Structure 1
Amino acid sequence: MSAPVLTARAIAKRFGATTALARLDLSIGAGEVVALMGANGAGKSTFVKIVSGVQAADEGAMTLDGQAYAPDSPLAAKRLGVATVHQSIADVVVPDLSIADNLLLDELCGGVATIWTPRARRLARARELAARVGLEGVDLDAPLGTLSLAAQQRVVLARALATRARLLILDEPTASLSAAEAERLYTLIDGLRAEGVAVLLVSHRLADLRRLASRVVVMRDGRIVAAQDAPIDFDTALETMIGRRLPDTTAAKGEVAQHARAALELRGLQLSSHSEPFDLDVREGEIVAVVGPVGAGKTRLAQVIFGATRASAGAMRLYGAPWRPRTPREAIRAGVFLAGEDRWRSSLFPDAVPFASIAGSIGFPFLPRWSRAGVAGIVSRAKEREVAREFIDTFGIRCNGPDDRVARLSGGNQQKVLLARWHAEPARVLLLDEPFQGVDAGARADIAATLRRRAAGRATLVFVSDLEEAHEVADRIVYFDRGTLERATDTLTST
């Protein structure tokens, strides 16, 4: 290995009685990409937070380029040469500010630039940063919120690379990217490696690991349990990661009988004036995966069915009756549920909100039904906890109990809470937008198996960008692009 950029020795971290890291040792060399693999709760995020200055270790020591390294904040870490791009960007961007201001946000806050810096100079610097991540031609005066989530992520990456980083930490960097956008990121990382930048990569996508990783380090229960240099045997790595063989979810699938009634029918549906109309039927008991690149229109289709937005033309039927929901509330009352793509922007609550516990998060949409003695606003806490306990077991949520705060769970367990919410009451149509985002392979297999077990009595549509995820869970796949249906296939007979 080349000269180490980062060394971590005997790093330990505890949260109460829980050991998150147990004397972990790791080195990352210049130009090396070290990928951390591990099930949710294995300690990956805790280690990333310690290296990036979000948290302090209880024990152990680190060096950066041979010098003692113990950042007390993310800003201190960045000034020392450690740049981090977190999975969730909602906390590090300001959607109402211009793209240029978001690109320069760290420099504006750090005193490198100010609002008094001539506008021409600020725009030139913003263009320089934007070009590095392929955002040439973008109107830098437009609000950041007008960009897609993938483009916003590139803005955050450009900001992270604004300084001469020695170590770049990427947490699920392609979770919201199309294949083409992911390849652009890979090429960018190749260039950084050639410059001697060390990269610590956390990703659940095997495509990322195959393409980028020089070495994979497998974590379980806060410890490193295995390591492999490229080329990597991913079957062995995955089984080591979860401590058991992965289930054969394909074998567990059952064909939906052709005589099963149509739960959802779409006829001549046109999502926008620029897209082609299409038809789609989903039968009761069937799981249909809607697959397409980021920006294909999958999320808009889910929102149209859920009543969050309107189609330009066409008709929908729900169990034979016309379906034209005016609001999501109306959809929920009718048994049409949507688990949104970005769990924190669409579904879950910050820690300070009263409904931020597991029990509160699961029960929130059903408060009118779960109120004590039918009195609106008086919540039955016993009912909330009873349902939460059931689904903690059903989805295998790693926690201490129903009153745990969702924000303090690992990303995969947060996703399980979101999915548990929409199983707490019977659904007629269940819409899942990127349900495996940020979820490790073991948890993904568990979620897929749970969705299959509970598919009866409803139609399930799963909206994903990853074809492997679609094959893992669906009876049938439909390919979606440019706002319309391209083609469909039966996953049991396709290759």
Structure 2
Amino acid sequence: MGADAVFHVEGLRKSFGQNEVLGGISLELHAGEVTVLMGANGAGKSTLVKIISGVYARGAGTMRLAGDAFDPQTPAEAIRAGVVTVHQNINDGVVADLDVATNLTLDRLSGKGASMLFKPANIRAEAKAVADRMGLAIDLKARVSDLSLADRQMVAIARAMAHEPKVLILDEPTSSLSSAEADRLFSLIDRLRGHGVAILYISHRMSDIRRLADRIVSMRDGVISGVFDQKPLDYEGAVNAMLGRKIHLDRVVARSSASAVFTAEGLRIAHGAKPISMTLGAGEVVAITGLVGVGKTALAETLFGVRRPLAGAMQMDGKPYAPASAREAIAAGVFLVAKDRTESGIVAGFNIERNISLPFLKRMSSLGVMKKRAERLAARRQIDELGIVCRSEKDELSALSGGNQQKVMVARWMSQASRLFILDEPFQGVDISARRDIAAKLRASADGRATLIFVTEIDEALETADRILVMSEHTIVGEHRNADIDLDRLLAEVAGGPLHGVA
């Protein structure tokens, strides 16, 4: 174990069936240091945290805490040993209907050796001691449900620290916080660092990482792809290691468009964020890339009417565009392929035909009667054009592979003409063959509309787009025509590095 390393993981492996999620992870956490863990979706971060936290059993490898073997079978065992996790969902760490004092002492009230007698005075005294130790300036009598997100996060961390852990894991703790609220959290983390706690901080927000990291560990595809602990920290190298740089895939021939379909001026999608201005042209495919958590989905949902912008104006074909709902956006010719196909997309119990026609049932009906032939022909056309592997349009979605389910999601919104076609992470969870099929179809059908895709993987942008915009901290920080791109500069922008104008 390295000097001051309080926690050590060696050769950790985990598989689910034939799918190996962790391929031999080795990691050290040091007392009084913040180790930032970066990894794209599917890198294995959540599985690693769940093994350390006692939620999952390890498949192979060893863990040691303060020199002793560490192999928790339950979260309670991990906590008792000195490893506490505060999960991304704040409500997982607090009980909203109880007051702050009870939350801070709840584990002692309900744990082993807890007194059978409930003494409010003792609870308040113990809660005050915890709050004072953490510098928590919150009314202990306040109900947690009445607190701001930042205060709930503080209570969750203070509750975790009541166990006096050796290791604290924070999973995307600022994902729901404003910049001012995040600053309060950072002050608390500085305090914990001063107490000698080893902190594993999971985040993609470069402002967080630059502010807190003593060292950065990058994960990709279930393995550690880079460790960065030399000062000054190599932030761009960490991003490069996380995303990979396999820039050997098919590149497109970039097209230009002189005809604007969509414009946004001064669009603000988050408090404290700089405004966004952009133009999307007819026949053009534009990719917006950036790390997880920079606001890509928030922008997609704003354009689709699911969210309201805080400021700014939009136009579609030169006319004001301010959708109050997804229904209004669809009526204006704006379609969105949502990121999470299982939550807001496919209906597993419906067949391919009905999944494709679902948003357009009214268009495919006459006097309330469905035009079955039109529905069937639309489905067959999309099956052929996108290469959906199935027996027929009557197959249920649940019978298809993930890649073919994703093709059905794209097919749904391509079955009707649109003016602005938005796709949020359309290649997530699909293999390279399906990815290329979808990208080719998007480009082949781009005439007559503007196409906007949101992707984390830079390769996906390079394979698909005519223009690439870079997003960071809920705004656009770079623009590149997809021809002779300076990849080092693009990566620097993704990492939140210094910019020198716009390409």
TM-score using structure 1 length: 0.61
CA distance change for structure 1 residues 137 and 428 in 2, over 3 Å: closer, same or farther?
farther
Contact 1:356 1:405 (C-alpha < 8 Å) held by counterparts: no
CA distance change for structure 1 residues 208 and 465 in 2, over 3 Å: closer, same or farther?
closer
Q: 1:471 aligns with which of 474, 478, 488?
A: 478
Contact 2:102 2:127 (C-alpha < 8 Å) held by counterparts: no
1:178-199 Cα deviation digits (max 9, x unpaired): 4444443333222212211111
**Residue correspondence of structure 1 range 249-328 to structure 2 within 5 A:** 260-263=259-262, 282-284=279-281, 285=284, 306-308=304-306, 318-320=316-318, 323=321, 325=323, 327-328=325-326
Give the letter for the 2:230 counterpart: A
- The alignment status of 1:203 with 2:221, answered yes or no, reads no
> 1:349 aligns to what?
343
**Which one is further off, 424-433 or 190-199?**
424-433
Give the letter for the 1:471 counterpart: G
CA distance change for structure 1 residues 193 and 387 in 2, over 3 Å: closer, same or farther?
farther
Contact 1:433 1:462 (C-alpha < 8 Å) held by counterparts: no
Give the SS at the match of 2:343: coil
CA distance change for structure 1 residues 173 and 382 in 2, over 3 Å: closer, same or farther?
farther
- The alignment status of 1:193 with 2:206, answered yes or no, reads no
> 1:156 aligns to what?
156
1:399-423 Cα deviation digits (max 9, x unpaired): xx954599xxxxxxxxx99996997
Aligned equivalents of 1:420 and 1:92: distance in 2? 37
Give the letter for the 1:195 counterpart: H
CA distance change for structure 1 residues 34 and 102 in 2, over 3 Å: closer, same or farther?
same
**Residue correspondence of structure 1 range 371-410 to structure 2 within 5 A:** 374=372, 403-404=401-402
Aligned equivalents of 2:329 and 2:81: distance in 1? 50
**Larger Rg: 1 or 2?**
2
Aligned equivalents of 1:370 and 1:492: distance in 2? 51
1:237-272 Cα deviation digits (max 9, x unpaired): 44444553669xxx9998976x533535789x999x
CA distance change for structure 1 residues 39 and 325 in 2, over 3 Å: closer, same or farther?
closer
Aligned equivalents of 1:184 and 1:172: distance in 2? 15
- The alignment status of 1:428 with 2:405, answered yes or no, reads no
Aligned equivalents of 1:417 and 1:159: distance in 2? 45
CA distance change for structure 1 residues 63 and 337 in 2, over 3 Å: closer, same or farther?
same
Give the SS at the match of 1:349: helix
Give the SS at the match of 1:165: coil
CA distance change for structure 1 residues 90 and 423 in 2, over 3 Å: closer, same or farther?
farther
> 2:84 aligns to what?
83
Contact 2:356 2:379 (C-alpha < 8 Å) held by counterparts: no
Aligned equivalents of 2:49 and 2:322: distance in 1? 46
> 2:439 aligns to what?
none
> 2:17 aligns to what?
16
CA distance change for structure 1 residues 105 and 462 in 2, over 3 Å: closer, same or farther?
farther
Contact 1:100 1:126 (C-alpha < 8 Å) held by counterparts: no
Aligned equivalents of 1:326 and 1:237: distance in 2? 40
Aligned equivalents of 1:462 and 1:225: distance in 2? 23
> 1:50 aligns to what?
51
> 2:127 aligns to what?
125
1:352-403 Cα deviation digits (max 9, x unpaired): x96499x99x96974748999649999x998998899879xxxxxxxxx954
CA distance change for structure 1 residues 49 and 313 in 2, over 3 Å: closer, same or farther?
closer
Aligned equivalents of 2:502 and 2:48: distance in 1? 40
> 1:110 aligns to what?
110
1:61-92 Cα deviation digits (max 9, x unpaired): 32222333222222332232212123344655
Aligned equivalents of 1:373 and 1:319: distance in 2? 31
Deviation of the 1:30 alpha carbon = 1.5
Aligned equivalents of 1:434 and 1:158: distance in 2? 36
> 1:398 aligns to what?
none
- The alignment status of 1:73 with 2:67, answered yes or no, reads no
- Structure 2 segments unaligned to the other structure (5+ residues): 270-274, 390-398, 427-454, 483-498
Aligned equivalents of 1:23 and 1:365: distance in 2? 44
Contact 1:239 1:245 (C-alpha < 8 Å) held by counterparts: no
Contact 1:34 1:201 (C-alpha < 8 Å) held by counterparts: yes
What CA RMSD, in Å, does the superposition of the two structures yield over aligned residues?
6.1
Contact 1:433 1:464 (C-alpha < 8 Å) held by counterparts: no
Aligned equivalents of 1:16 and 1:266: distance in 2? 49
Give the SS at the match of 1:71: coil
- The alignment status of 1:62 with 2:63, answered yes or no, reads yes
Give the SS at the match of 1:332: helix
Aligned equivalents of 1:122 and 1:375: distance in 2? 70
Deviation of the 1:55 alpha carbon = 0.5
Contact 1:31 1:195 (C-alpha < 8 Å) held by counterparts: yes
User: Percent identity of the aligned residues?
Assistant: 33
Give the SS at the match of 1:19: strand
**Residue correspondence of structure 1 range 165-204 to structure 2 within 5 A:** 165-204=165-204
Give the letter for the 1:192 counterpart: L
- The alignment status of 1:143 with 2:145, answered yes or no, reads yes
Contact 1:53 1:77 (C-alpha < 8 Å) held by counterparts: yes
Contact 1:12 1:21 (C-alpha < 8 Å) held by counterparts: yes
Aligned equivalents of 2:403 and 2:109: distance in 1? 31
> 1:216 aligns to what?
216
Contact 2:105 2:123 (C-alpha < 8 Å) held by counterparts: no
Deviation of the 1:167 alpha carbon = 0.3
Contact 1:168 1:200 (C-alpha < 8 Å) held by counterparts: yes
1:114-142 Cα deviation digits (max 9, x unpaired): 99664995599389649947664799337
Contact 1:434 1:462 (C-alpha < 8 Å) held by counterparts: no
Give the letter for the 1:143 counterpart: S
Deviation of the 1:330 alpha carbon = 3.6
TM-score using structure 2 length: 0.61
> 1:481 aligns to what?
none
Give the SS at the match of 1:24: strand
Contact 2:287 2:465 (C-alpha < 8 Å) held by counterparts: no
Contact 1:433 1:463 (C-alpha < 8 Å) held by counterparts: no
Q: 1:335 aligns with which of 333, 336, 355?
A: 333
**Which one is further off, 317-326 or 154-163?**
317-326
> 2:458 aligns to what?
445
**Which one is further off, 365-374 or 191-200?**
365-374
> 1:397 aligns to what?
none
CA distance change for structure 1 residues 116 and 138 in 2, over 3 Å: closer, same or farther?
closer
1:286-324 Cα deviation digits (max 9, x unpaired): 9698x9xx9x9x96x987764457799999754355656
- Structure 1 segments unaligned to the other structure (5+ residues): 272-277, 392-400, 407-415, 436-441, 456-460, 476-490
Aligned equivalents of 1:312 and 1:39: distance in 2? 28
Aligned equivalents of 1:135 and 1:450: distance in 2? 51
- Count of residue pairs the alignment pairs up: 429
